[in-house]
Amino acid sequence: MLEVAELPVLYLDNHLLVINKPSGLRSQGDRSGAPTVLSLGKALIKERFNKPGNVYLGLVHRLDAPVSGVMVLARTSKAAARLMQQFRERTVEKVYLALVEGELEGSGTWEDFIAPARDHMRLVPEDHPFGKRAVLHWQALMTRNGLTLMRLVPETGRKHQIRVQLAFRGYPILGDRRYRARRWLAPGQMALHAWKLALTHPTRRERMQWTAPVPSFWDEAFRVRVDRLLAYLEASGPEGIR
């Protein structure tokens, strides 16, 4: 069970708490009563600032439980409202990384329509009554050990969007049991990571950006130090990570 000390903090001020969410941790509670981003975040603030009574922490966006990476929470209701407006207006920049099964090269944009189907999502025709448009920009960075490291920028924010758009093209994310991955990881783990996030600070109006290192299990799966590889690709300029 995760403890407060195991919640990696990327940034903290009077208005924001930014963390690197571990894979397997839920954003908010369910019937199990297990620790969540919200419960651990509140406990961290209470402990760090010796605050009595209840602590406010606003959930302004979510990551699926198996997904790791940058997650921003609001420490005041004013900050929460302003951050949620940025997410609604799509001015928040989000970059994901994934290890997918199979070999893929190049880059491009996928535009699909997604609709719910029991306990998962699926691609549907454009005229489907419940279909919602989903746009994903992708770049294949490197292939190794039967996997491809991908950079992914969702233009829209549909439920399970990245997972669905990859899986239905034959490239399921490593460890994604729900979307037919053939290679599994430990329970609760999946190789999808919210790598970078940029937004405008809710009070200072300053543009801010955070990057979160990938989980350690990626190195073993990909047989390379992924964070070192990313640093090298970024340093190589336009031909590296665009």
| Identified catalytic residue from 30, 64, 119, 176 | 64
Q: 67-119: per-residue pLDDT in tens?
A: 999 999 999 999 999 999 999 999 999 999 999 999 999 999 999 999 999 88
Strand partners, 140: 150
Query: What pLDDT does residue 240 have?
Result: 63
pLDDT at position 235: 87
Beta-carbon contacts of 169 under 8 Å, excluding residues fewer than 6 positions away, are 110
pLDDT tens digit sequence for 160-211? 999 999 999 999 999 999 999 999 999 989 999 999 999 999 999 999 999 9
Full set of structural domains in the chain with CATH? 4-235 (3.30.2350.10)
| Known catalytic membership, residue 64 | yes
Query: The pTM is what?
Result: 0.93
pLDDT in tens, 212-226: 999 999 999 999 999
